[in-house]
Amino acid sequence: MPEADRTGGRGLSGPAPQAPRAGSTPLAKAGDSDTETYAHVFVTNIGGAGMSAVATLLAERGHAVSGHDPAETTPFVAPLRALGVDVATGSEQPALDAEVTAVVVSTATPADNPAVVDARGRDLPVLHRADALAWLTSERTTVSVAGTHGKTTTSAMLATILDTVGVKPGWVVGAPIPGLRRSSAWGGDGPLVVEADESDGTFLRLATDVAVVTNVEPDHLEHYGSFEALVEAFRSFLANAEQRVVCADDTFAGELGQEVRAVRYGTDPSADVRIVDPVSTAEGLSFGLVQAGSPEPVPVRLQVHGMHNARNATAAVTAAVLVGVPLVDAAAALDDYVGVARRFEARGEAFGATLVDDYAHLPTEVAAAIAAARELDGRRVVCVFQPHRYSRTEAHGRDFASAFTEADLLAITDVYAAGEAPRPGVSGKLVVDAVLDADPAAQVAYLPHLDDVVLWLRQTLRPGDVCLTLGAGDLTTVPTRLVELSTRAR
């Protein structure tokens, strides 16, 4: 390991990147000393983003895979079937085939799921999704990207870099990557890029060689119990990896990075990989990267907006360097990166306004998305926000007080439950009250239902506006509805 520099970080000239684990044992049945492979894996809730990714990796790795999802269809069903995966959908779950040798479940899979009950009765292993991913990550060099926000974009950027330079990566990302056309792939013999989910602590099970932490902010406290416990989980995630990358601009990630001698990136003067001279245009964002000890900046050009994306890109470039990609090549590989679904995604035009949809559902994410919209030629920003989950709104509703200050007009919907039961006194009105308490003159409307939102936007939008829909729920359907209304009105 290289000597720590005076900032507590480390340079990019560390040990040579670890080669893929040669001769590693195949995915093996738990408890079997003869490493009998899981010849046929059944995946529950297979139509979801996370479970379909595991099914994809297993299928492309050579396992027989089948599964069931209660939804009649999802965007992931057709791609799975194209891989030869036997997918059943609908309310009636078929009996477990005799050939099945293991079952993979998610946190949402109930204990009385028929496949789980059958597997237990047949003494077959029942694995959590994270355990299956842990075995898969043990097969090859793995870069795991974690953080309260930014991990989907950072993972997608890193996968794009590695694919562009020809190292044949695999990836598991929470949204389809337009340039790669998929959200997951086993790939070739290059590194495996994994978006590491901290929500339930399962990211600690991954066999991680390079750990990336984009930021650490209070979230998922219903699982961890306290912010201190969440920080400790991120500390363990970093400590378990051979090489680490953290954002120097984030308070808690930066502190953890100094503790574990990570490579630190960002605009902070102490960063090992520093962002300099950012310039925003209508086409995107450009900036330079200065590596510690090398004064000449390396140019980076992005077709996406916002300083948060400059940081995401720098995290991806830094991780790519640690697995053997030259800095100049990694930076150049981002020239054609065009983003991922629901991350400042252009959704067309309606009534002369530009529609942009973003997954932002935490205060820092919301502020970053609005700041990026503000960069678009100084146009009026009309924002709609859908709070996500009653537990999160109860815990963080007041934290949104100053998140919308750069929006010209704001509407708040009611809470998207995401499967949670309502809580007394918890609604989108908590966010509205927080905004008005901070700024009584703020132009904010409380529109609980999406039909109300569509009507309000129809009456409010003007040519040249940027209409920004923010949230992790079904608000994402609104841009499509607006485009359809606008088309009919012509």
Which residues belong to the active site? 151-152, 195
Strand, coil or helix: 209: coil
* Angle value at C-alpha 320, between 317 and 323, nearest 5 degrees: 155
Alpha-carbon distance of 413 to 153, in angstroms, equals 26
Q: Rg of the chain's alpha carbons, rounded to an integer? A: 23
Q: What Å distances lie between residue 236 and 147, 192, 219, 244, 317, CA to CA?
A: 13, 20, 17, 12, 23
Q: Which DSSP string corresponds to 123-172? A: T--EEEHHHHHHHHHTTS-EEEEE-SSSHHHHHHHHHHHHHHTT---EEE
Q: What Å distances lie between residue 29 and 56, 57, 111, 339, CA to CA?
A: 19, 17, 21, 38
Looking up tokens 């132009």 gives 443
Looking up tokens 């969440």 gives 230
| Nearest residue to 171 (alpha-carbon basis) of 214, 142, 212 | 142
What six digits make up the tokens of 152? 């989907």
Looking up tokens 């237990």 gives 120
- The amino acid present at 363, given as its one-letter code, is P
Q: What Å distances lie between residue 443 and 383, 384, 471, CA to CA?
A: 11, 12, 19
**Phi, psi (deg, nearest 5) at residue 460:** -100, -40
Alpha-carbon distance of 9 to 4, in angstroms, equals 6
